[in-house]
Amino acid sequence: MTKEQIEQMLGEMGIPFRYHHFTQKEMQDIPLPIIVWIVPGTDNFFADGKAYKKIKKLDIELYTDDKDWKLEEKLEVILDKYGIAWQQTASEWLQPEKMWESLYEMEV
Protein backbone atom coordinates (compact mmCIF):
# COMPACT_ATOMS: atom_id res chain seq x y z
CA MET A 1 0.00 0.00 0.00
CA THR A 2 1.13 3.50 -0.71
CA LYS A 3 1.06 6.37 1.77
CA GLU A 4 -1.95 7.76 -0.08
CA GLN A 5 -3.83 4.44 0.10
CA ILE A 6 -3.12 4.11 3.83
CA GLU A 7 -4.32 7.66 4.45
CA GLN A 8 -7.44 7.10 2.35
CA MET A 9 -8.22 4.00 4.43
CA LEU A 10 -7.60 5.81 7.74
CA GLY A 11 -9.74 8.72 6.55
CA GLU A 12 -12.73 6.38 6.73
CA MET A 13 -12.37 6.41 10.53
CA GLY A 14 -13.51 10.04 10.63
CA ILE A 15 -10.96 11.03 13.29
CA PRO A 16 -7.63 12.91 13.03
CA PHE A 17 -4.56 10.89 12.05
CA ARG A 18 -0.88 11.58 11.41
CA TYR A 19 2.19 9.66 10.37
CA HIS A 20 4.46 8.97 13.39
CA HIS A 21 3.21 11.61 15.84
CA PHE A 22 1.17 14.70 16.58
CA THR A 23 3.12 17.74 17.78
CA GLN A 24 2.63 18.97 21.34
CA LYS A 25 0.75 21.99 19.99
CA GLU A 26 -1.54 19.76 17.93
CA MET A 27 -2.24 17.63 21.00
CA GLN A 28 -3.41 20.75 22.84
CA ASP A 29 -5.82 21.62 20.01
CA ILE A 30 -7.04 18.18 18.92
CA PRO A 31 -9.14 16.09 21.32
CA LEU A 32 -9.01 12.31 21.47
CA PRO A 33 -9.64 9.98 19.70
CA ILE A 34 -6.71 10.13 17.28
CA ILE A 35 -4.72 7.67 15.18
CA VAL A 36 -0.96 7.55 14.66
CA TRP A 37 0.43 5.24 12.00
CA ILE A 38 3.99 4.22 11.23
CA VAL A 39 5.90 1.95 8.89
CA PRO A 40 8.61 0.59 11.23
CA GLY A 41 10.28 -1.56 8.61
CA THR A 42 9.80 -4.24 5.99
CA ASP A 43 9.45 -8.00 5.80
CA ASN A 44 10.24 -8.47 2.11
CA PHE A 45 10.12 -11.78 0.25
CA PHE A 46 13.34 -12.49 -1.63
CA ALA A 47 13.92 -14.56 -4.76
CA ASP A 48 16.94 -14.75 -7.04
CA GLY A 49 18.85 -12.31 -4.87
CA LYS A 50 16.22 -9.57 -5.18
CA ALA A 51 13.31 -8.20 -3.19
CA TYR A 52 10.71 -10.17 -5.16
CA LYS A 53 7.75 -8.91 -3.12
CA LYS A 54 8.06 -5.72 -1.06
CA ILE A 55 6.10 -5.99 2.18
CA LYS A 56 5.80 -3.04 4.57
CA LYS A 57 5.11 -3.49 8.25
CA LEU A 58 2.30 -1.14 9.29
CA ASP A 59 1.41 -0.17 12.85
CA ILE A 60 -1.79 1.70 13.60
CA GLU A 61 -2.10 3.17 17.09
CA LEU A 62 -5.58 4.22 18.20
CA TYR A 63 -5.63 6.62 21.17
CA THR A 64 -8.83 7.27 23.13
CA ASP A 65 -9.91 8.67 26.50
CA ASP A 66 -11.14 5.24 27.60
CA LYS A 67 -11.25 1.77 26.06
CA ASP A 68 -13.51 2.35 23.03
CA TRP A 69 -14.79 -1.02 21.85
CA LYS A 70 -16.95 0.46 19.09
CA LEU A 71 -14.12 2.53 17.59
CA GLU A 72 -11.80 -0.49 17.68
CA GLU A 73 -14.47 -2.52 15.90
CA LYS A 74 -14.85 0.23 13.29
CA LEU A 75 -11.10 0.13 12.60
CA GLU A 76 -11.17 -3.66 12.38
CA VAL A 77 -14.07 -3.58 9.91
CA ILE A 78 -12.14 -1.10 7.73
CA LEU A 79 -9.00 -3.25 7.82
CA ASP A 80 -11.08 -6.30 6.87
CA LYS A 81 -12.71 -4.33 4.04
CA TYR A 82 -9.27 -3.60 2.59
CA GLY A 83 -8.29 -7.26 2.88
CA ILE A 84 -5.61 -6.62 5.49
CA ALA A 85 -4.70 -9.38 7.96
CA TRP A 86 -4.19 -7.59 11.26
CA GLN A 87 -3.35 -8.39 14.86
CA GLN A 88 -4.20 -6.26 17.89
CA THR A 89 -0.98 -6.57 19.88
CA ALA A 90 -1.62 -4.10 22.69
CA SER A 91 -4.57 -2.56 24.44
CA GLU A 92 -3.55 -0.66 27.52
CA TRP A 93 -3.93 2.43 29.66
CA LEU A 94 -0.97 4.81 29.35
CA GLN A 95 -0.88 6.42 32.80
CA PRO A 96 1.61 9.27 32.06
CA GLU A 97 -0.37 10.37 28.98
CA LYS A 98 -3.78 9.66 30.55
CA MET A 99 -5.04 7.87 27.44
CA TRP A 100 -5.86 4.41 26.18
CA GLU A 101 -3.77 2.88 23.38
CA SER A 102 -4.91 0.09 21.09
CA LEU A 103 -2.10 -1.08 18.80
CA TYR A 104 -2.73 -2.94 15.54
CA GLU A 105 0.11 -4.54 13.58
CA MET A 106 -0.07 -5.79 10.01
CA GLU A 107 1.86 -6.14 6.78
CA VAL A 108 0.85 -4.43 3.54
Q: Running DSSP on this structure, what letter comes out for residue 98?
A: T
Q: Which option is the CATH number for 3-107: 3.40.50.11810, 3.30.70.2170, 1.20.140.10, 3.30.2000.30?
A: 3.30.2000.30
On whether the pTM is more than 0.85, the answer is yes
How far apart are the C-alpha atoms of 12 and 7, rounded to whole Å? 9
Closest CA to 102 of 16, 33, 31: 33
Tens digit of pLDDT per residue, the chain (108 long)?
999 999 999 999 999 999 999 999 999 999 999 999 999 999 999 999 999 999 999 999 999 999 999 999 999 999 999 999 999 999 999 999 999 999 999 999
